[in-house]
Amino acid sequence: MTLAVRVPEELSARVPAEQRGPGLGRDAVRLLVSRGTAVSHHTFRELPRLLRAGDLLVVNTSETLAAAVDGRIGHACVVVHFSTLGDDGRWAVELRKPDERGTTRARTGGPAGSEVRLPGGMGLVLEVPLSAGSERLWWARVTGPTGAGVVGLMREHGRPIRYSYTERDQPLSAYQTVFALPSADGTGSAEMPSAARPFTVGLVTELVSRGVQFAPITLHTGVASAEAHEPPYPERFAVPEASARLINAVKAGGGRVVAVGTTAVRAVESAVGADGVVRAREGWTDLVVTPERGVRVVDGLLTGLHEPEASHLLMLEAVAGRAAIDRSYEAALDGLYLWHEFGDVHLVLPAEGPHSEHCASNCW
pLDDT tens by residue, 127-159: 999 887 788 899 999 998 765 689 999 999 999
Helix or strand or coil: residue 309?
Answer: coil
Burial classification of residue 56, based on how many CB atoms lie within 10 Å of its CB (0-12 exposed, 13-18 middle, 19 or more buried): buried
How far apart (Å, rounded) are the C-alpha atoms in residues 260 and 293?
20
How far apart (Å, rounded) are the C-alpha atoms in residues 28 and 43?
7
Please tell me whether the peptide bond between 22 and the residue prior to it is cis, using omega within 30 degrees of 0. no
Give me the mean pLDDT over the 205-210 stretch.
Answer: 98
* Residues of the chain above pLDDT 70, percent: 92
Assess contact for 256 and 298: CB atoms under 8 A: no
Assess contact for 315 and 289: CB atoms under 8 A: yes
pLDDT tens by residue, 56-65: 999 999 999 9
The answer, yes or no, to whether residue 217 has pLDDT greater than 80, is yes
Report the pLDDT value the prediction gives residue 353, as an integer from 0 to 100: 61
* Segment (H or E) for 152: helix 149-157
How far apart (Å, rounded) are the C-alpha atoms in residues 32 and 202?
21
Give me the mean pLDDT over the 270-276 stretch.
Answer: 95
Of 199, 172, 154, 145, whose CA–CA distance to 27 is shortest? 199
The full DSSP string for 31-97 is EEEEETTEEEEEEGGGHHHHS-TT-EEEEE-BPBP--EEEEEETTEEEEEEEEEE-TTS-EEEEEEE
The answer, yes or no, to whether residue 280 has pLDDT greater than 50, is yes
CA distances to 145, 232, 234, 298 from 64, in Å? 24, 18, 18, 24
Query: How do 257-260 and 300-304 pair as beta strands?
Result: parallel
At 226, the pLDDT band (50, 70, 90 cuts) reads low
